Amino acid sequence: MDEFTAPTIDWAALSPVLITLAGASVVLLASLFLPPGVRRGFGAAVAAICFVGAAAAAIALFVADESGRGIVSEAIRRDRLAELAQVLVMGAGLLTVGVSYREPERVERAGEYWALLLTAASGMAFFVAANNLMTLFLGLEWFSICLYVLTAIAVERLPGLEAGLKYLIVGSFGSAILLFGSALVYGATGAIGFEEIAAGTAEGERLFLVAGLAMVLVGLGFKASAAPFHMWTPDVYEGAPTPVTGFMAAATKVAALVVTLRLLVTAFPGEEELWTVALAVIVCASLAWGNLAALVQVSVKRMLAYSSISHAGFLLMPIAAGNELGGRALLYYLIAYSAMSVGAFAVVAVRERELAAPVTVGNLAGFGWERPFLGGSMALFMFGFIGLPPAGIFLGKIYAFAAVIERGWTWLAIVGAVFTAVSIYYYVGVIRAMFMQPRELAVAAGGSPPPDRLLVASVAASVVVAVGSLLAADPLIDIARDAVEFLPFPVG
Amino acid sequence: MEEFLVWLVWVVAALALLASGLAVVLFSNPFYSALALIGNLASLAVLYLLLEAEFVAAAQVLVYAGAVVVMFLFVIAYLGGQADTPWAGGPTLQAVAAVVAAGAIAVEVVVVIALQADERLSDAADVGEAFGSPAQIGNLFLSDHLLAFEVTSIVLLVAAVGGVILGSAMPRPRERGER
Amino acid sequence: METTVLILLPIAGAVALWFAPWLTPRAAGGFALLVALAELAFWIGTALNFDFGAAEPQAGADRVWFADLDVAYRVGLHDYTLWLVGLTAVGTAAAVGYGFWVGRERAGVYLSLLLFLEGATVGVFAAQDLVLFYVFWEAMLIPLYVLIGVWGGPGRLGATVKFVVYTMAGSLLMLVAIIAAGLQAGTFDMTSAAGRGSSTWIFLGFAAAFAVKAPLFPFHGWLPDAYRESPPEVAAVLSGVISKTAAYGFLAIAIPFYPGPAEDWRVPALVLASIGLVYGSLLAFRAPDVRGVVAYSSLAQMNLILIGLFAANASGYTGALLQMVNHGLISAALFLLAGAIERRASTGQLVLLGGLARGRPVLATILITTGVIALAVPGSSAFAAEFLVLNGAFAVGWGWAVVGAIAIVLAAMYMLRLVSAVLHENVGSAVPAEALDLRPAEVGVIAPLVVVLLALSFWPAAITDRLSGALF
Amino acid sequence: MLGPGIAAYLVLSVVLFATGALGVLLRRSPLIILLALEIMLNAGNLALIAFARRLGDGDGQIFALTVMVVAAAEAVLGLGLIVAVSRQRADLDVDRLTSLRG
């Protein structure tokens, strides 16, 4: 029998995870004792403090040292890639606090809502640091389960429940595929740690490895909502409470894509010629499916869901390039994209509360002039999603295209350009509805909701990040470079 | 003789596994499906024993057959006639996806069989008495895989919270329910 | 430094207006006009201090934007771009003044968008970095889209969709070309020789964007609708100034950076431009309304400019550049006049117009003067420019010069038709007897454009002699 | 090792996985889909344990144990959702089987 030796734990490295987790426990317990009236404010305050604290902790870790190291037998990594992704997740969470503060469903289950939001962010913070297949699977399930419940948290609304059930079933299907793929990779290489997988790749059974890699990619594709694994996205985005949708669109993408990058680059550098091509195919499928389906959407949330599928394509493009430029492109793109996703869904949430009905392109009519700031911000987000300045996605797309061109895949950049042109039509449709349609086209509004300064502040913060990421491109790209430069990129 | 017995056990367990798996998927009554799942899990436990994973086998029987399946049965009983309501919210494009999945899996079966013919997979490591024992599992869980162990507890906690939230979904009076 | 001010002054004005929604329309309009005039004054100051003849861009700035791809905020003015920036300042000032006087709904937003458009356009001319150029190029699109979509005519929604999809499809191909060119060269610096090459694909990517925006002949599908549905002052800016960015793109990027491919594609380009020239002239002759005539004549003139550019010799370039300034002023003036006419008759249909000259001497004088310069009578600046273009085209092949000469005859026909249909003949059914002459404000907006044109007619060398050899 | 080799276990796990996957894709009843998901996860577990045996490595068994916990958590939530959905349906409109497009 081995002598048991307790592992040494680098508590500092875990602090972003632990801070949010502790916040969740506090909110959960306090909501048992606090009167219902103050639960919402208390929970929101704790959530905001924890998100800020966790982000600060991640930033401190990022600044503290540039070398990465493993935590508890290399189960997770403390490195700048994880820390930057954690900052993004926490930022999305913080914005979501502002957006969801006045969401009607929050009143009843305020405590649980904030606790689940914090736990989901905590799980993502863990997931992005995952360094073996087991922590990857567990981190994925951790935040996914939180999101299933958050989707269905409005338990009196059938659409929300059905969306939650659908998300759970499709999500678990993806996880099961991921699990089986992990098992095959484990069998082929005899290891679950990413570095050991890379080391064991040479002598492993290649067929197992390839099959396992394919299944792992499929599983992650489900989370990133890349076509053809996207079928849950529109229904879930539509059914979930709008602030939750914004959080999912932003934070889940950050987590899934960062982990995809880390896994492929650190664990499968030897299979580069396989996964880059596979990803290129997924990119094309996502761009085509997302953009073409978005053209015919009436519901704004569904349209944004398809737009998020197409952005999954744009975000996977730099990973497919497999070079360091691509890594930088991915992280820079994610900074702008995550802020803008939360902001766009926040504006949808406002209109939804005004109308007490699902927001369609038609009933946005006149919104831009009624609420100039929110309308203008939404216009900025829509132009930004197309890839027009002055939003940072513009540079993100330039970087993504540059990464694939540097790899020699100019055709992929052209595919991206063509589908960007397609996407103009539906994004501009929103702007047209908000500013160019007479107000009478909209359904009579159900009374003006109270002014929601927190939500407006969140939208303003999204705008600042969206525009600021373009102006301050150099420091942000330096940060992105710091975050990825230690990864052993297989190309160039 | 021992070899023969192991083979016999394996064949029986394997047949039971496949048959019960098919039964779970094919029965139209969810109650029978859930019962079939017990058989499935039990035959898996037998296979785990053959693979010298005693602790996992025990956990399989206790956790699954003892808790999860019972929970399924409770819910099925609670829902009664509603239990097998068909539902349009499942994955779409079933036909295409099913064909693709079946094709991919068929390929994998071929791969495995091919590898077996290659004699590469028939070898197994020599393992000591301790392999798969509760002591070894516990040791690993508390050292190398401490984080995984802790995360499982968080996952369970979240599931519990989620269960409470979903359980609180009482039908509401109409005037408040219509939002 | 001065260039940065020229770019940021209007943008700052636009942002200030955007954040001051409480301003009355009058205050907002006054402020916007002030900003536009300040820009113009600043441009004059810059021009007076300009060192004509230097090959390097002047009055510039160079600040790292992001270093890893060597993209920087590099701006500066060449002698040829100085004139185009001046055209932008003059055209926008006129448009802002006109919009202020007409009193658009939500004047603050409207005028701030015009100012933003001005800043972006100056940026396109001044950028010395390909990525920065692209940023400003796309930044022009957003205010134009909103200006046409919100304040345009009844068919504006269709017009904007066409406009945006056409131009974006072209410019996205340019984006890929820019990235490919920059990665090949290792820098996006336009002044460095490293950016130049022989890749046909990159050349075609640039050409796609410029051909759509100019527009070169088969890519003009968006033009008639956009020009008809815009408010007149937006149409004036669009045809007078924005279309010049495309010609500038050919002039400063596509042709000089990729001389090999430009040489290979010269004949197809000349064929298309010639077709566009004749086709546009014929359509202008047949157009039923004032704006249609001006729009199609714009198409024709732009294609004439492209002929000059693709002649790719000093005469062609000089003529094209002079004609860019001329046509910018002419079409801005004509669109504003069209707006003035439409305000009086509430239609632009030529069959319903007529007889506006009687009792309205100022309108008649200004319209006739503009028209006469536009049809390039000898002695006008347009004549000088077209002569240089034809001379340049002749050096390539006499056939092109013949096409150009035919088109000049056609130009005379459609311009005279326009003038006579509006001013002479019988009083049109849509012309009310009490329709006023041009108001002082309208004169104040349009007359300066015409005065500049006249000055250029007397002294075209003001521009042509102040072009260094930097281009050729 | 007595009895069949690891390959036999793998074939079993692949077939089991396929059974579960087809169940998820083809069945319409959410309860049965949940059961089929359990089967898929168990197929993964079988593969993990078979590989663990082959490698003489404990990691696979640990992995399998954590998967069991996750599967239990998913089952709890899935069942909770199914119960909540059926309650709401009974409450709102018995005839309307879905409010979302499939």
Span C304-324, average pLDDT: 87
Give D93's pLDDT tier (boundaries 50, 70, 90).
very low
Span B10-28, average pLDDT: 90
Q: pLDDT > 70: what percent of chain B?
A: 69
Say what the pLDDT of residue A13 is: 86
CATH classification of the domain holding D14: 1.10.287.3510
Say what the pLDDT of residue B174 is: 44
Q: Flag whether pLDDT at B105 surpasses 70.
A: no
Q: Is the dihedral of CA C283, C288, C293, C295 positive or negative?
A: negative
pLDDT tens digits along C66-90: 888 888 888 888 888 888 999 999 9
pLDDT tens digits along A15-74: 999 999 999 999 988 888 888 778 888 888 999 999 999 999 999 999 988 888 888 888
Are B179 and A356 within 8 A, CB to CB? yes
On whether residue D100 sits in a domain, the answer given is no
Are A164 and D47 within 8 A, CB to CB? no
Residue C77 carries which DSSP code? Answer: E
pLDDT tens digits along B64-83: 877 888 888 888 888 876 65
In sequence order, the 6+-apart residues with CB closer than 8 A to the CB of B155 are A138, A141, A142, A145, D69, D70, D73
Inter-chain contacts counted by CB atoms under 8 A, chains A and D: 121
Report helix, strand or coil for C59: strand
Say what the pLDDT of residue B175 is: 40
Mutation choice for A interface testing from B75, B151, B170, B174 by most A CBs within 10 A: B151
Q: How far is CA D95 from the centre of its chain?
A: 30
Number of domain units in chain D: 1
| Structure token pair of residue A381 | 């987000």
pLDDT tens digits along A89-112: 999 999 999 998 887 655 567 788
pLDDT higher for C148 or A155?
C148
Q: Flag whether pLDDT at D102 surpasses 50.
A: no
Q: Identify the CA nearest to A482 among candidates C186, C188, C72, C68.
A: C68
8 Å CB contact between A81 and A124: no
Is A298 an 8 Å CB contact of chain D? no
In A462-491, the residues whose Cβ lies within 8 Å of chain B are: none
Are A148 and D89 within 8 A, CB to CB? no
Q: Flag whether pLDDT at D96 surpasses 50.
A: no
Say what the pLDDT of residue B17 is: 92
Please give the Cα distance from C378 to C386 (Å, whole number). 10
Span B11-38, average pLDDT: 89
Determine the Cα angle at A34 with ends A32 and A39, to 5°.
Answer: 95
In sequence order, the 6+-apart residues with CB closer than 8 A to the CB of C141 are A388, C164, C167, C168, C171
Q: Flag whether pLDDT at A447 surpasses 80.
A: no
Say what the pLDDT of residue B143 is: 81
pLDDT tens digits along C424-462: 777 777 777 777 888 888 888 888 888 988 888 888 877
Query: Cα-Cα-Cα-Cα dihedral of D83, D87, D93, D96, to 10°?
Result: 0
Q: Flag whether pLDDT at A205 surpasses 80.
A: no
Q: Identify the CA nearest to C121 among candidates C74, C167, C88.
A: C88
On whether residue D52 sits in a domain, the answer given is yes
Please give the Cα distance from A402 to A394 (Å, whole number). 12
8 Å CB contact between A487 and A131: no
On whether residue D23 sits in a domain, the answer given is yes
Say what the pLDDT of residue A155 is: 83
Alpha helices (H) in A232-299, listed in sequence order? 233-239, 242-247, 253-262, 272-294
pLDDT tens digits along C244-287: 999 999 888 888 888 888 888 888 888 999 999 899 999 988 88
Report helix, strand or coil for A480: helix
| B164 φ, ψ (degrees, to nearest 5) | -65, -45
Which of A458-462, B75-79, C31-35 is predicted least confidently? B75-79
CA of B102 to nearest chain D CA: how many angstroms apart? 7
Number of domain units in chain C: 1
Neighbours of chain A (3+ CB pairs under 8 A): B, C, D
Q: Which residue of chain A has the CA closest to B105? A: A211
Say what the pLDDT of residue D95 is: 40
Give D36's pLDDT tier (boundaries 50, 70, 90).
very high
Which residues are paired to A132 by β-bridges? Answer: A193
The H or E element containing residue C58 is strand C58-66
Are A126 and B152 within 8 A, CB to CB? no
Q: Flag whether pLDDT at A77 surpasses 70.
A: yes
Say what the pLDDT of residue D40 is: 93
- Given D41, D67, D81, which is nearest A165 (Cβ)? D81
8 Å CB contact between C351 and C245: no
Which of A286-295, B97-106, C48-57 is predicted least confidently? B97-106
In D53-82, the residues whose Cβ lies within 8 Å of chain A are: 54-55, 57, 59-60, 62-63, 66-67, 70, 73-74, 77-78, 81-82
CA distances from A213 to A187, A206, A209, A279, C36 (A): 12, 10, 6, 12, 61
Are D76 and B160 within 8 A, CB to CB? yes
**ipTM at complex level:** 0.88
| Structure token pair of residue C238 | 């669009």
Give A2's pLDDT tier (boundaries 50, 70, 90).
low
Please give the Cα distance from C399 to C385 (Å, whole number). 19
CA of B100 to nearest chain D CA: how many angstroms apart? 10
- Given A157, A173, A187, which is nearest D51 (Cβ)? A187
On whether residue C122 sits in a domain, the answer given is no
Span C412-423, average pLDDT: 86
Span A317-332, average pLDDT: 93
Which residues constitute the domain of residue C329? Answer: 265-472
In sequence order, the 6+-apart residues with CB closer than 8 A to the CB of A104 are A353, B179
| C152 φ, ψ (degrees, to nearest 5) | -80, -175
On whether residue C253 sits in a domain, the answer given is no
Mutation choice for D interface testing from B3, B44, B175 by most D CBs within 10 A: B44
Are B144 and A7 within 8 A, CB to CB? yes
On whether residue C333 sits in a domain, the answer given is yes
Mutation choice for B interface testing from A122, A137, A156 by most B CBs within 10 A: A156
Sole residue written with tokens 């053809």: A228
Q: Which residue of chain C has the CA closest to A398? A: C179
Alpha helices (H) in A128-193, listed in sequence order? 133-151, 158-189
Chain B residues with CB-CB distance to D50 below 8 A? 51
Mutation choice for B interface testing from A134, A145, A158 by most B CBs within 10 A: A145
Mean residue pLDDT of chain A comes to 89
In sequence order, the 6+-apart residues with CB closer than 8 A to the CB of D80 are B162, B163, B166, B167
Chain B residues with CB-CB distance to A28 below 8 A? 161
Chain B residues with CB-CB distance to A6 below 8 A? 142-143
Q: Flag whether pLDDT at B30 surpasses 50.
A: yes
CB atoms within 10 A of CB A429: 20
Burial of C449 (0-12, 13-18, 19+ CB in 10 A): buried
Q: pLDDT > 90: what percent of chain A?
A: 61
Say what the pLDDT of residue B176 is: 41
8 Å CB contact between A113 and A24: no
Give C407's pLDDT tier (boundaries 50, 70, 90).
confident
Q: Do chains C and B touch (3 or more CB pairs under 8 A)?
A: no
Span C418-429, average pLDDT: 81
In A208-247, the residues whose Cβ lies within 8 Å of chain D are: 235, 238-239
On whether residue D47 sits in a domain, the answer given is yes
pLDDT higher for B125 or C229?
C229
Query: Cα-Cα-Cα-Cα dihedral of C90, C92, C93, C99, to 10°?
Result: 150
Q: Flag whether pLDDT at C344 surpasses 90.
A: no
Mutation choice for C interface testing from A399, A404, A424, A434 by most C CBs within 10 A: A424
Span B152-175, average pLDDT: 77
Are A417 and C173 within 8 A, CB to CB? yes
Are B145 and A356 within 8 A, CB to CB? no
Beta strand C58-66 with A76-78: parallel, antiparallel or unpaired?
unpaired
Which residues constitute the domain of residue D65? Answer: 6-92
